[in-house]
Amino acid sequence: MSKDRDKQGRRKGGGKGGRSGAPKRPRGRQSRYTVAAGERILELLRGGVSLRKAAEGEGLTCQTVQRWCAAHPAFAEQYARAREAGYAALGERLLELTGVAHDAARDEVTGRMRIEACRFEADVLKWTLARMLPKVYGDRKAVEVSGPDGKDLLPQHSREEMAEFAAMLASAQAEVARCTDGLESNYDGDGGSCGDE
């Protein structure tokens, strides 16, 4: 082993920069984030393009763009606004499809196939928008039921009213129990009524 190398085969000494004296590069994966690349991706997202296609246009993955969002707060804010604009663009595309389907209906040869293609694209867009913006495009409707002036539909009862109701219920249960005691002996064969005492 050479005198200028340690046990692992690395050069001894040399300071921070190694043999050339240049500063050491930081360890780990280097970010490929640039403002220009970020803006190109955001522009595609604003147009309604998926994140996967926008990232592939720059030779990146979706995960890389998501890491950029985590590492650069300003980019994350622009990304969120670009996604909202992209979803609005998809909503506009849904409206355009109705015109395309109307035009296709006039064509006797290929009209039916074009209408089916429009229907398929509209279904995909509706599904996507319903998942991404459920409050705006979702199918689920929330129904709130309330009484007049926003009060409870069922009124609240006082303790006295509840006690009175409980006493009436107990009295009715006692009457039913009295009538059903010895039902066989009170049954007169004409439909079974509570016997007079």
pTM: 0.52
Mean pLDDT, rounded, for 154-180: 85
Higher pLDDT, 23 or 115: 115
Q: Quick one: tokens of 156?
A: 């609240």
Contact yes or no for 45/54 (Cβ under 8 A): yes
Q: Where are the alpha helices (DSSP H) in 47-156?
A: 51-57, 62-71, 73-105, 111-132, 134-137
Which of 56-60, 86-90, 151-155, 165-169 is predicted least confidently? 151-155
Higher pLDDT, 26 or 184: 26
* Residue percentage of the chain with pLDDT more than 70: 72
Reported residue count of the chain is 197
pLDDT at 19 over 60: no
Give residue for tokens 């050339």. Answer: 20
pLDDT of residue 30: 66
pLDDT at 1 over 60: no
Q: What is the DSSP letter of 160?
A: H
Write the CB contacts of 46 (distance below 8 Å, at least 6 apart in sequence). 82, 85, 86, 89
Mean pLDDT, rounded, for 185-192: 53
CA distance 76 to 41: 12
Closest CA to 121 of 86, 102, 96, 84: 96
